[in-house]
Structure 1
Amino acid sequence: MRWLTLSIAAALASTGYANAEQASERYIVKSESLAQVVQLDGVVQPINQGTVASQTSGRIVGLNVDVNDYVKKGTVLLEISAVQQSASLDAAQAQLASAIAQDREAQAQVKRYRQLFPKGAISQDVMDSAEARARSASAAVKSAQAAVAQAKESLGYTSVTAPYDGVVTQRHVELGETVAPGTPLVSGFSIDKLRVETEIPQRYQPSVSDVAQFEVVSPQGERILPTQYSLFSYADPQSHTFKIRLNLPEDISTFVPGMWVKTEFHYGNRDTILIPNSSVVRRAELSSVYRIQDDSRVLNPVRLGQTYGDYTEVLSGLEEGDVISTTALNAEGK
């Protein structure tokens, strides 16, 4: 009797397990909202880049950097001979000293004349001449001060410094060369502030409204959210695409200028049907699933779209509410 009771209990337990296993192999087809993404190719660019040119004349007497050197802001890149500039500064300072002396004399004289004029000791013409000389002397001092400031600025141009932290990409001069104002000296770019430049097809251009729609993917798979975007208001006449620039967060070591990266643009959402990859039966060019009807399995052809991880998009062949088997291989063996 005890043996019979144990057998019945084991049968019931086995039946429950089978029903549970059968329920776990079923998937109810439903529609889900899926983000629409287009992948674009982009190039990393520095925001700050340029060429430092000479602002004075002279001969290159010192070269402190070369191509691929990293420099800090204010670092002296090269030096230009300063003999002419130093002489000009000395002459301007001497002229300023002379103008100051003459101004002091003219101011003192007009001060004395103003004391004597009310007493009738000097005429009106003499007084007017003294005041005119005083004003001229004051103007001469200001002119000499401006000349000194200009000479100091020209002398400062002989030491060419880095405008920002960055990398030297090209050196246009050699030691001993003579340069003139406007001669290119050194080119470089900053690696602290970068952007990604890519092109959006014209069909997606009206959908661009927020920087949050973009994600930049590095070659290592790291995803970076841009901080700002700039969409050009005109299209390229050859490719009919709109150029867009995406500013990256500062100090991103993953990216360097010139790198080729992927940019994902989320332009909307749409409702679609997704089914588990394990439910798909593939035979050559045909794809099918086992649809469950009244506890029986019927092979149902489907047309598939893209794959998203463990799920595949169904374009046609299934409707919401259909029940399919998630274990296609097991279903084929039954």
Structure 2
Amino acid sequence: MNFIQPTLLSALAIPTTLLLMTSCGEKPSQAPPARPPQAVIVATVEQKTVPIYVENVAQTEANATVEIRARVQGFLMDAPFKEGGYVKKGDLLFQIDPKPYQAAVDQAQANVTKADATLGRANADVDRIKPLVEQRAISQQELDNAIATAKVAEADLLAARAGLTTAQLELGYTTMRAPFDGLIGARQVDVGNFVGNTADTTLLATISTTDPMRATFHVAEANYLRYQRRFMGDEAAAEEHSAAMAFDLILSDGSTYAHKGKFDFAERALDARAGTLKLVVTFPNPELLLRPGQFARVRAMPEERPDAILVPQRAVITTQSAQSVMVVGEGNKVEVRPIKTSTRFQDQWIVTTGLKAGEKVIIEGLQKAAPGIVVNPMDPPPDEAPAAEPAKPSATPAAEEAPSAK
């Protein structure tokens, strides 16, 4: 047991040494000083009247589109237009070999001449026989036969004229001209091919108008009903509101189209599968920048929201379906406040419940804040202060409005 004794003596010596050091005037270490409140950037909740913009995905389409089809059979002899170019009303687009149809017209014209001559002879026979019947030189039966022959000749003349009209129409179908000023697509059949030999006739090309251009989009049934109830019983006010609305077209490159659009019409019925109503807006297209089939976004301002409560979007904390903000209240204490929002205005949310004008909300330093702690609120730097600019709606607005469906 002697080998344990030095270890025990050393263990007993340690507290004795500490006791001696304490009695000699050594002071214990002091607690660290309290940390200052964390600095956070805050913004003031605003209240003002704001315009409510809505955006919808749209697609452009021509006012009128016509398929040029072969209505008669024949070899395609000419197609003098430039594919993908602009044509004027009356420009020659396609020419089918007209010689067989010109021959048919000549034949029909000869039939008309022959029938006309036959009718003239039959009428002359009737005029010659009538006096003889009155003189009882010939029988009444012969007069009846002459009259019947004249009526048959008259019917033959009508049939010959109808045949001539048909032949002339078919001859006219060999020449196809532009029905209006517009943009024509590619040739579907090359010159030299035989066309018009199918049941639904042969598609040769498609032409569409270019100015003005339509933009079509769809709004939800609920928003259509909300709009209709707003003007229910006042058709004049609904029409006036629709006519006064100006539409912007946001192109695929993010630029705003130079010309404003006007409401054209709403579709007769809703799409039963999607539950949406189709609206059509018309845009001038003098520079021919728009073409059918382009995708864009239509933006409009259907209403203004008076005394709207606005909070910066970056102050809003979203967890699942709930929204909240951190409010700096009395004594600079942080409070978590649940809120509800409706739609966006510029870089702010429009708040329906939970906030009032003048309150301070944290927009930077949210990770430093917690409910109940004291913070040091600071205003945002001047270069981050919101600038006055046109309203920028969200890409997926919470509220849309449909112009009058009437």
Q: TM-score, normalised by structure 1?
A: 0.72
1:55 matched residue in structure 2:
71
Deviation of residue 247 (structure 1)? 3.8
Q: Is the 8 A contact 1:204 1:267 kept in 2?
A: no
1:267 to 1:232, Cα distance in 2 relative to 1, 3 A: farther
Does 1:225 find its partner at 2:257? no
Give the alignment of 1:84-123 within 5 angstroms. 84-123=100-139
1:242 matched residue in structure 2:
276
Does 1:43 find its partner at 2:59? yes
Deviation of residue 47 (structure 1)? 2.6
1:50 to 1:84, Cα distance in 2 relative to 1, 3 A: same
Aligned to 1:198, which of 198, 217, 229? 217
1:8 matched residue in structure 2:
none
Does 1:318 find its partner at 2:318? no
Q: Deviations over 1:179-225 (max 9, x none)?
A: 12511111221113432122223432323545446724243424623
User: Structure 1 runs of 4+ off > 6 angstroms?
Assistant: 282-291, 297-307
Does 1:258 find its partner at 2:293? yes
2:189 matched residue in structure 1:
173
Aligned to 1:189, which of 167, 187, 208? 208
Aligned partners of 2:219, 2:133: CA distance in 1, in Å?
83
1:283 to 1:102, Cα distance in 2 relative to 1, 3 A: closer
Q: Is the 8 A contact 1:58 1:178 kept in 2?
A: yes
2:148 matched residue in structure 1:
132
Deviation of residue 174 (structure 1)? 0.7
Aligned partners of 2:381, 2:196: CA distance in 1, in Å?
83
1:95 to 1:298, Cα distance in 2 relative to 1, 3 A: same
Q: Is the 8 A contact 2:224 2:277 kept in 1?
A: no
Helix, strand or coil at the partner of 1:196? strand
Aligned to 2:86, which of 42, 45, 70? 70
1:308 to 1:180, Cα distance in 2 relative to 1, 3 A: closer
Find the structure with the greater CA-based Rg. Answer: 2
1:157 matched residue in structure 2:
173
Q: Is the 8 A contact 1:231 1:245 kept in 2?
A: yes
| Aligned length, in residue pairs | 289
Deviation of residue 323 (structure 1)? 9.3
Helix, strand or coil at the partner of 1:59? strand
Q: Is the 8 A contact 2:79 2:191 kept in 1?
A: yes
Helix, strand or coil at the partner of 1:73? coil
Q: Is the 8 A contact 1:272 1:313 kept in 2?
A: no
Q: TM-score, normalised by structure 2?
A: 0.60
Aligned partners of 1:328, 1:176: CA distance in 2, in Å?
78
Deviation of residue 256 (structure 1)? 2.5
User: Which residue identity is paired with 2:209?
Assistant: S
1:4 matched residue in structure 2:
none
Q: Percent identity?
A: 20
Deviation of residue 178 (structure 1)? 0.5
Deviation of residue 156 (structure 1)? 0.8
Aligned partners of 1:98, 1:41: CA distance in 2, in Å?
66
1:215 matched residue in structure 2:
247
Q: Is the 8 A contact 2:270 2:278 kept in 1?
A: no
User: Which residue identity is paired with 2:247?
Assistant: E
Aligned partners of 1:318, 1:185: CA distance in 2, in Å?
66
Helix, strand or coil at the partner of 1:176? coil
Does 1:273 find its partner at 2:308? yes
1:308 to 1:284, Cα distance in 2 relative to 1, 3 A: closer
Q: Is the 8 A contact 2:215 2:283 kept in 1?
A: no
Deviation of residue 250 (structure 1)? 5.3
Structure 2: runs of 5 or more not aligned: 1-43, 229-237, 318-324, 361-377, 383-406
Deviation of residue 149 (structure 1)? 0.9
Aligned partners of 2:333, 2:307: CA distance in 1, in Å?
21
Judging by fraction of residues, say which structure has more strand.
Answer: 1
